A = this chain, B = another copy of it.
Amino acid sequence: MGDLQEKGGATMPEFMDVHTGMAGITSEGLLEAHNADLAIQDDEKVNFKHAWADPQSGMVFCLSEAPDADAVQKIHQRAGHPADNIYEVPVQAE
């Protein structure tokens, strides 16, 4: 059976953000973009944890911990790839 994971208390909120229009993205391209986020994420107390990309559809999903969605977007914008949507994901299961 799966486990309930409820984020709360002292932990930082988690966010899933979505980028579209990245068709053809390569492993090297994703890593370069991700590293551009990592290099400046501390400025907004963001922690980008994982990124998943589908080169066919051009969808990219990024999981992060951050104070709020604005902080996530500020880093993505400064790194040159603003997210299309950012969702707080306090309800999780695994």
Decide if A53 touches B92 in the complex (CB within 8 Å). yes
Q: Residues of B contacting A91 with CB < 8 Å?
A: 25-27, 30, 52-55
Q: Residues of B contacting A94 with CB < 8 Å?
A: 34, 49-51
Q: How many copies does the complex hold?
A: 2
> Nearest chain-B residue to A87 (Cβ)?
B54
Point out the residue from B35, B49, B89 that lies within 8 Å of A61, measured CB to CB.
B89
Q: Which of A6-33 contact B (CB under 8 A)?
A: 6, 14, 16, 25-28, 30-31
Q: How many residues of A contact B (CB 8 A)?
A: 38
13 A-B contact pairs sorted by A residue (CB < 8 Å): A1-B38, A2-B38, A5-B27, A14-B52, A16-B59, A16-B61, A26-B91, A30-B93, A34-B93, A51-B92, A51-B94, A53-B89, A54-B90
Starting from the known contacts A16-B52, A49-B94, 5 additional A-B residue pairs (CB-CB under 8 Å) come to A2-B48, A27-B92, A51-B93, A52-B92, A53-B90
